[in-house]
Amino acid sequence: MRILTARCVGILALIFCAACADKQLSQPAKNQFGDESYRKIADLQDRRKTDSLISFLYSDNDVYRRAAALALGSVQDTTSIDTLGRLATSDLETRVNAAFALGQTNNTKALRWLMYGELGDEPEVQREIAEEWARLSDKMIFRNFLQRVMVLRGEFTGREFVGFSTT
C-alpha cells in the first residue's frame, strides 16, 4: 500500500512539474513593438526615410542596428549601400541583415560590396551573400557587371562572353 501511495504521489509530482514547465514555455514572447525605438524604425521603414534609418545603424543597441539593416533592405535605397557595406564590426545577425539589404538595392555597387566587402567569413554571412548574388544574377545585374569587367579586361567581343557558355 505504501509503495502504491508513493508511486501515485511521484506521478502526481511529475504531472505538476510538467504543467509548470508548459506554462513557462508557453508564455508569449515580449512584443518588440512595445519598444519605442523599434516602433520608430518600423515607421521610418514605412515612410521610406533612408537617412533616419541609417542613423540607427550607428546605435549602440544591436537590436536596433539589426532592425535598421533589415528595414533598409525593404526600402531598397541605393544611398544606404556604403553604410551597409561598412558594418563589418557589427554582430553576426546585423551583418547578415546588411548583406540582405545590399542585395535588395539591385545595384552593381552593392555587388562590389558583397564581393569585396568585409562583412565576414561566417557561414551565415556567406550564405546570405551567395543568395543575394544568385538573386541579382537572375535579374541580369550580375551579367552586366561581368560584361563591364570583361570589357575592361579586353575579353568581351561585344556579342558574347569569350569562354563563357550561355546555355
Rounded CA separation 72/87 (Å): 13
pLDDT tens for residues 97-114?
999 999 999 887 888 888
The CATH number given to whatever domain includes residue 53 is: 1.25.10.10
pLDDT for residue 20: 54
For residue 17, tell me if it sits in a domain.
no
For residue 9, tell me if it sits in a domain.
no
Which regions in the chain score pLDDT beneath 50? 4, 6, 8-9, 12, 14, 21-29, 161-167
Q: Residue 57: is it exposed, middle or buried by C-beta count within 10 angstroms (0-12/13-18/19+)?
A: buried
pLDDT for residue 114: 86
Q: How many domains does the chain have?
A: 1
b/e string for 119-155 if b means 16 or more Cβ within 10 A? bbeeeebeebbeebbeebeeeebbeebbbeebeeeee
Q: State the pTM of this model.
A: 0.65
pLDDT for residue 4: 47
Q: Which domain holds residue 63?
A: 33-153
For residue 116, tell me if it sits in a domain.
yes
